[in-house]
Structure 1
Amino acid sequence: MILSELNRRINLLPVILIFFAGIVTGCGEQKDKSADDDQYETRAEATTENAEEAKINELSEKEKEDGWYLLFDGESTEGWRGYNKDTFPNGWVIEDGALKVQGSGAGEAGGGGDIIYDKEFKDFELSLEWKVSEGGNSGIFYLAEEIEGEPIYTSAPEMQVLDNERHPDAKLGKDGNRKSGSLYDLMPAEPQNAKPMGEWNQVSIIVYRGTVVHTQNGENVVEYHLWTDDWKEMVKDSKFKDWKNFLNAGGDNKKGFIGLQDHGDDVWFRNIKIKEL
């Protein structure tokens, strides 16, 4: 009996060894598979980042189908010119795929001046990205008229572009209505979600039959309605109260130019695109 039991156990030994060898091999394969998965995820992340980088100043196929078109391709100033000018001004350059206003250090008194896209728009959605230098200030105008002898801001509402942490405009005005994303000097952006200087902010401006919406970094921050009694009251209590063309933004045809402000600071704009509604 003892001898038979011993023989049986000896015969089972190869089977046991094979079983444990399979477990060890399986663990090794699982480890290798996990390593492969990690490498794949790393490559996938890199591919995604490259794809996102490649989308700067480009339209997706879906955007093209939906009627979007670029106002700036990252390489040329085609379509842009100085406000009340026939040419594109010095003081603005293309840098790393962005339209950059070069700071003069003299505020609105220096530099190349404001620029506009050479087409008037009525109902539209404008989308772009901006970033400012330390203490930077600029703005995005819409429904602007070209009036000889007058600056662009006498006829055009402005979405504020600002380094909220450093520029004194953030502390002026009323209830933060000069901070980033605000309807300048009229309505504060709420919530105030601007990114710090040196970081890109994504914004959009929708104008549709007098209704205007400012969006900043994925959130609606301003909504108002042009040419209404509320609009007239709001302007009446502001520094724009005596500016007839501002009150009647867009003029008789209720359309105008898109403009970018030179306020004497380094500011960058890219991914500028528009969809007419």
Structure 2
Amino acid sequence: MTDPMFVADFEPIFDGKTLNGWEGDPEFWSVEDGMIVGEMAEGQTLEANTFLIYNEPVADFELKAEFRISERGNSGIQYRSDWVEGVPFGLRGYQADIDGNNTYTGQNYEERKRTTLAYRGQKTSISSQPDDVATLRDYVERNAWKGLKVESELGDRAELGSKIKKQDWNEIHLVIKGNILQHYVNGILMSEVIDLDEKNQSLEGLLGFQVHRGPPMRVEFREVMLKKL
């Protein structure tokens, strides 16, 4: 469980018993033993990624939580995001990625927008697409934003990944202030984005947890704490 120092000055946004204050598809989201559980069981399918969405928008904030995810799981913590029209419980925006193989956990991936903004181990700055580029997708290559510039390396990607426990509890800490977006896992800075893209950046929006379409999976969150800055 979380050390008391881990939650100093933070307010819980999950009561440990209900999903009061959150909105999501009950087919995929529930509460078990003090945990938020997102699960897609054998035989279930999703046409699009689905989210459990916190009912208050946030701007500058810190979020701390513990997560555990199954081996084939694909999830993440969405923030400063918008509803996707026509997609039940769909969000678009920044995401702190989480996956069971620890390939992507800690990176910054922008759901339904600019895609990868920083891989794990990178501090990046993000610039806008040129004016003659018609759509966001036209400025994406190999699932990463072409305006991604690596400012410095935070560490070896594989070595950082080794600090994340598979199929066990990990602590995640998001520090989101202005256009600087930092993702920590187990106290280690995994990625940092400086978003200079005034065309596409978001300074306020919704929080949410993700169940990704694909194979059966389970993700669990507990000790979910928020501090608005």
Q: Which residue of 2 aligns with 1:262?
A: 211
Taking CA–CA contacts closer than 8 Å with sequence separation of 6 or more, which of the two structures ends up with the larger relative contact order? 2
Gaps of 5+ in 2: 110-115, 122-159
Matched, 1:225 2:191: no
Matched, 1:132 2:81: no
Matched, 1:121 2:58: yes
User: Aligned to 1:186, what secondary structure does the other structure show?
Assistant: strand
Deviation at 1:89, TM superposition (A): 2.5
Percent identity over paired residues: 28
* Higher fraction of helix: 1
8 A Cα contact 2:23 2:53, kept in partner: yes
User: Aligned to 2:118, what secondary structure does the other structure show?
Assistant: coil
Distance in 2 (alpha carbons) for counterparts of 1:194 and 1:136:
18
User: Aligned to 1:102, what secondary structure does the other structure show?
Assistant: strand
| TM-score between the two structures when normalised by the length of structure 2 | 0.69
8 A Cα contact 2:107 2:120, kept in partner: yes
Distance in 1 (alpha carbons) for counterparts of 2:20 and 2:33:
17
8 A Cα contact 1:193 1:217, kept in partner: no
Distance in 2 (alpha carbons) for counterparts of 1:153 and 1:130:
21
Cα RMSD for the two superposed structures = 2.8
8 A Cα contact 1:163 1:196, kept in partner: no
| Residue number among 103, 106, 120 corresponding to 1:181 in the alignment | 106
User: Aligned to 1:90, what secondary structure does the other structure show?
Assistant: coil
Deviation at 1:151, TM superposition (A): 7.3
8 A Cα contact 1:145 1:152, kept in partner: no
Distance in 1 (alpha carbons) for counterparts of 2:227 and 2:167:
27
8 A Cα contact 2:84 2:90, kept in partner: no
In structure 2, do the counterparts of structure 1 residues 124 and 205 end up closer, same or farther at CA, with 3 Å as the change threshold?
Answer: same
| TM-score between the two structures when normalised by the length of structure 1 | 0.58
Q: Which residue of 1 aligns with 2:18?
A: 76
In structure 2, do the counterparts of structure 1 residues 95 and 110 end up closer, same or farther at CA, with 3 Å as the change threshold?
Answer: farther
Gaps of 5+ in 1: 1-52, 83-87, 171-178, 233-246
In the alignment of these two chains, the number of paired residues is: 181
Deviation at 1:215, TM superposition (A): 0.5
Distance in 2 (alpha carbons) for counterparts of 1:79 and 1:259:
11
Distance in 2 (alpha carbons) for counterparts of 1:126 and 1:104:
28
In structure 2, do the counterparts of structure 1 residues 147 and 163 end up closer, same or farther at CA, with 3 Å as the change threshold?
Answer: closer
**Paired residue type of 1:109:** E
In structure 2, do the counterparts of structure 1 residues 213 and 138 end up closer, same or farther at CA, with 3 Å as the change threshold?
Answer: same
Distance in 2 (alpha carbons) for counterparts of 1:270 and 1:102:
15
Matched, 1:90 2:27: yes
Question: Computing the radius of gyration over CA atoms, which structure comes out larger, 1 or 2?
Answer: 1
8 A Cα contact 1:155 1:249, kept in partner: no
Deviation at 1:153, TM superposition (A): 7.0
Q: How does 1:17-166 map to 2 (within 5 A)?
A: 53=1, 63=8, 66=9, 68-82=10-24, 89-105=26-42, 108-109=46-47, 113-150=50-87, 155-164=92-101
8 A Cα contact 1:108 1:262, kept in partner: no
In structure 2, do the counterparts of structure 1 residues 110 and 153 end up closer, same or farther at CA, with 3 Å as the change threshold?
Answer: closer
